[in-house]
Amino acid sequence: MHDLLDPKNDFVFKRIFGSEEPQLGKAMTALEYLSQSAEVRRLYEMRQKALHDEVSMLERAREEGERRGREQGREQGREQGLYEKSAEIARKMLAKGNEIDEIVELSGLTAEEIERLKAH
């Protein structure tokens, strides 16, 4: 019987820790943990907590980055929409023969932007 429990016994080791019996491997890991001294268990628990905290921190950082990205995308979309609307107004004013100075004043576009619109 002691032969079977000998860690050098390859057959038993593979059965317990190998992929053939995953539940036994988990049980042995738990047994090893429980059989450690109180200090070793405390250190292990501290490490597990630190790992968990790190994962939580990274998850929060990822979520914050995604939120900021969505906000930035919305802002860029608003700016692009405003520019497109101003350009549309400027094109209509150009078609009606309005002066560039007047178009600049009413559309909010620069004279250079209006010249580019005029060229297209």
Closest CA to 94 of 79, 80, 113: 113
Q: Provide the residue count of the chain.
A: 120
Amino acid found at 75: E
Is the distance from CB of 107 to CB of 98 less than 8 angstroms? Answer: no
The percent of residues above 90 in pLDDT, for the chain, comes to 59
Question: What distance in Å separates the CA atoms of residue 91 and residue 117, rounded to the nearest whole number?
Answer: 7
What mean pLDDT do residues 88-110 have?
A: 94
pLDDT digits (tens, 9 = 90+) for 2-50: 555 555 556 655 655 555 666 766 777 777 777 778 888 888 889 999 9
pTM above 0.75, yes or no: no
What mean pLDDT do residues 60-81 have?
A: 97
pLDDT class for 70, splitting at 50, 70, 90? very high
Question: What distance in Å separates the CA atoms of residue 75 and residue 64, rounded to the nearest whole number?
Answer: 16
